[in-house]
Amino acid sequence: MSAPVTHSPTSARLLLAIETSCDDTACAILTYDGTILAEGVLSQTDHAILGGVVPEIAARAHLDALPALVAEVLKKASLTLADIDIFAGTTGPGLIGGLIVGSSYAKGLAMALNRPFMAANHIEAHILTPRLPSLGAALHFPYLTMLVSGGHCQCVSVEQTGRYVRLGGTIDDAAGEAFDKVAKMLGLGWPGGPALEKLATEGRDDAYALPRPLKGREGCDFSFSGLKTAVSRLIDTQDPTGTRDALPRQFAADVAASFQRAVADVMADRAEHALALSPNATALVVAGGVAANKTLRQALEQVAANHGITFFAPPLRLCTDNAVMVAWAALERLHAGETPDDIDTAARPRWPLSERTPAIPEQFS
């Protein structure tokens, strides 16, 4: 069942997007040409004492936060809901509870105002973020994206809007997940990535010879499980009782720096292999939450320089989950001539880039 549509996609001038795929509640309003009018992100803190995101708690927090956040973003832009021409919401992949809350909220607004709805793919949104006009990158197809986050680690050749070639992905932990787990081993807080990077500035990245899983092998897949195990065994030599808060500060810093360097070396190697498979790539892009890591950025920037192509990383606020990227992904689809999605489009925890839109549940078809 589709909501009646009174605005055609090409007449849409203001788009409001909602992102709730994990533990960040986000909303943004963009003009049809990609100008950011207002944005807001609320990061949940209740998960810190639990050492990771609890899906049900995250979903409930999104439900509590969305009304006020949407109102705040509208106020920042000096707009009302009636001014919005089209709504978009992250519909997958991610934690199903949060996806249902956010996408349903966006759908509800679309139905109430008789406006169209766009279902956004979270991974596609990260991949297309660098093409946002206000970033000034002038990024042209095709380009290569290294998507590095807590839940995803993929190497994707971006051929056109909606046409992507997945060259490789993680066969176990995503890079961000490995950062969080190693940070926990070192007795750091959650989320672990930023805390580990900060600690690493005090250490030597050549202090310990940690493994570089899959480095030098064919293909573009990633594996961080062995590296994580090696770090655990190394820590056990200093902390056999498991009281992580008793680790010597310099030892912990050296482990953090050595681990971070190992991940960066692996990512650089995988990027080299990917560029060999994508000789026409005009740029190398890093996206996702871990793209905020300076050591990783520098390693990939050197790879791009070696190949004589542009390197681009979004601003830090657009690396982590946000609604600006969701809005822009929806706008890219509209610019490419696609029509809005059915209002009954289902949220789903897995949504491969090869599939344009999640299927409508059988009970609605």
Distance CA 60, CA 188 (A): 26
Q: State yes or no: 321 annotated in a binding site.
A: yes
Across the beta sheet with 283-287, what order do the strands follow? 163-169, 153-160, 143-148, 283-287, 310-312
β-pairing, 163-169 with 117-121?
Answer: unpaired
Specify burial of residue 50 (Cβ count, 10 A radius: 0-12, 13-18, 19+): exposed
CB atoms within 10 A of CB 188: 22
Q: State yes or no: 121 annotated in a binding site.
A: no
Long-range Cβ contact pairs of 353-361 (< 8 A, separation 24 or more): 353/121, 353/123, 353/124, 353/127, 353/156, 353/164, 353/166, 354/164, 354/166, 356/162, 357/119, 358/91, 358/92, 358/119
Does an H or E element contain 307, and which? helix 294-307
Does an H or E element contain 119, and which? strand 117-121
Q: State yes or no: 41 annotated in a binding site.
A: no
Q: State yes or no: 300 annotated in a binding site.
A: no
Does an H or E element contain 118, and which? strand 117-121
Sign of the dihedral through C-alpha 197, 349, 105, 63: negative
Q: State yes or no: 151 annotated in a binding site.
A: yes
- Name 283's bridge partners: 310
Phi, psi angle pair for 341, to nearest 5°? -90, 160
3-state helix, strand, coil in the chain (%, to 5): 45, 20, 35
Does an H or E element contain 238, and which? helix 225-238
Q: State yes or no: 46 annotated in a binding site.
A: no
Does an H or E element contain 137, and which? none
Q: State yes or no: 206 annotated in a binding site.
A: no
Q: State yes or no: 193 annotated in a binding site.
A: yes
Binding-site members are 122, 126, 147-151, 180, 193, 197, 293, 321
Binding-site members for substrate are 147-151, 180, 193, 197, 293
Binding-site members for Fe cation are 122, 126, 321
